[in-house]
Structure 1
Amino acid sequence: SLNCSSSLSFSLSLSLSLSLSLCPLTLTLSTESGFVASEDFPTHYKPNSKCTWYITVPEGHVVMLQFRIFDLEADPTCRYDYVDVYNGHSYTVQKLGRFCGTFRPGALISTSNTMMLEMASDSSKGGRGFLAFFSGGKPHVDDNQFCGGRLTAHQGSVKTPNWPDLDYPAGISCSWHISVATNMIIEVKFEKLDLEADMYCRYDYVALFNGGETDNSRRIGKFCGDSPPEVVVTNGNELLVQFVSDLSVTGSGFLAHYNSISRGSRTATVGLDTAPGPQVDPAPVRPRTSPAGRVRPVPKPRPTPKPKLVVRPKVTPKPNPHCVQSCRRTGTLVTSFCPSHFVVTGKATSLTPGAHGSVDVDVTIIKTYKAGRLNITKKGKTMSATITAQCAKCPALRKGMNYVLMGQVDERGEATLSPSDFVLLHKAVHDKVLANLAKRQC
């Protein structure tokens, strides 16, 4: 059996009181709210372990899950250590997401009163694990934080979190289960769509399904990019809208309106994808059926020599020397102004991974208070610059957010941000302080 944390009290002083419960692979929690945490939290979780939590909140509510702390072994596809979250008590239902690394996932919400979490670790040492809070609530308690739930009104709308003020969060998954009267069908019109673009919609997407399950045979469409799809019409009185974002680029999101219409008044939509086809794992070869209905056997492939199994150890990349120190902002606006070669306020419009864990940040400049040799590109009235953050996680910049940026510039005019440089989320109150500092002589 495994010792897995099932209940925690979390105070403002960040003191944690942990009660351990025996977890023989599974742990059932039936309560209005509570904490779940990885084994031995807040110390490092054990290798080669697996634990599953079955969460049930009162009937008529949905499960809302918020990760407070998240620290698992990082991998681009979460192959080694991970937390899976399911929209119910079964592996066959929709998976709300698989998460790893140190990027805290966004809030998750189920479409019913049940949710399942599963954490697994491999043989190597991992991090501190996770701490999450769950509670039962009604959908749309806070439109800027949660999304999804059950909608039973004859008309309404669905939208991504933070719409329309900010980009949707990274690492979030949620579903809306829409049900109308049995003698009606559902028509959906997208007013706006702005999700990370990809030919196959693999990263961020919104998918629509006939019925209430994410069954690919019932999928009406899967959409991403910035071109809203045509009007979508269901073949019945139920519709599932699924939204997923990965842990990288985000966008404005989407706003869609639905309305119930009479059966037979419109033709149901079929195969309206912006992606070329269903994004599912290749299915096994099945026997082909002749027109007469007889099954023709599939020829057996010629046997091939069985390759030897080679177990390769995981390669640990060399640490970026710029990322060794802890990520803590030092100094203030006043003390950092003069030592910095450039001081600007601007919006991070794109983040491109660079060499050795760095990231190139394209910034649309709001105002320049100190330019130095900084290479600034002018296009009409718009000014922009590309700044290289030497450590992608420090400072942790996000696309679509406005910042005060203070950094260094080399002889070629190329700008860099080190973990010790000053970066701050931009607010209007900073403008007056920066304007006064720009008038002073350094």
Structure 2
Amino acid sequence: MRSRLLFSAFLWIISEAHVILLTEMFGEIRTPNFPDSYPSESELTWNITVPDGFRVRLYFMHFDLEPSYLCEYDYAKVESEDQVLATFCGKENTDTEQAPGQQVITSPGNFLSLTFRSDFSNEERYTGFDAHYSAVDVDECADKSDEDLMCDHYCHNYIGGFYCSCRFGYLLHTDNRTCKVECSDNLFTQRSGVITSADYPNSYPKSSDCLYRIELEEGFVINLQFDDVFDVEEHPDVSCPYDYLKIKAGKREYGPYCGEKSPGRIETGSNSVQILFHSDNSGDNTGWRLSYTVTGTPCPDLRPPVNGKIEPIQSKYTFKDQAVISCNPGYHVVKDNVEMESFQIECRKDGTWSNRIPTCQTTEKNMRLS
């Protein structure tokens, strides 16, 4: 066995390294002169590149390199980009050296590099290695390590790649990953209702701009009441830079709102309200829920005419409320010198009644009997 000196590394005379580029989907890699003994003072690198969507799988059918402590003499080194995946030497594993055996190495990306290096001697005529590589399809749908590559809803794998799709009612964003909703034309015209972020109480969609409009006649005023549970993505130092809720009512604006503090009750003072909810392309928050009601412009209290009555009797009358004036038996409603059984008035949007209270007068029959 040849002796080794600590300074022998300085005596190595390594020939100029050669790089071989491999771009086929599979191939065989052998040390020089295989199956005869490999030459001394050699350095050879095979750079394997396969298409995007594939990885490189490498394994050795035969391996016989000079053994040494931590593979400091001859070795086969497997790398991917700047990461060393393995360094092999010898023929069998020991405490200080590793041989590939039946091990299969798979690159994390579509590139793998294999470097063979021999020092200045090969006295025992080691035969080197015979390796094989192939491109293997990446199942991106099964790989959950990179959130940026994950589909929002459905993932479909095919050889060399994958694509995303969305549940019914959603649209695929231009990033081909995110599922957004078309929610820019939500109109509410009833006097009460409930509005929520999409999918509430599940996580709301990403990359969406939702507009909810409440439109009622002039004379009504809209009041919003948010639930206590409120969950919109926030930033600890900047006011709502990611997701936010804004409200516009007439000339008033409220918000932006985000975080976990509910806006509570908002009396908008307007008959027209726009609620804008924006979400960016990240986050996993549940959103919000509100109920709205309306109140009408109040009209003055009513007093029934002498010998008459008003129905219904209310402590407060507001816009669109109606009242019917009628008279006691033996009397008729008289309005503009016209007798009638009853007369109806309505509270208008400006807070006035549609007509004055008529009078109750005795009928002509009663007048003759008297």
| Same fold at TM > 0.5 | no
Higher relative contact order (CA 8 A, sep 6+): 2
Higher gyration radius (CA): 2
Q: TM-score, normalised by structure 1?
A: 0.27
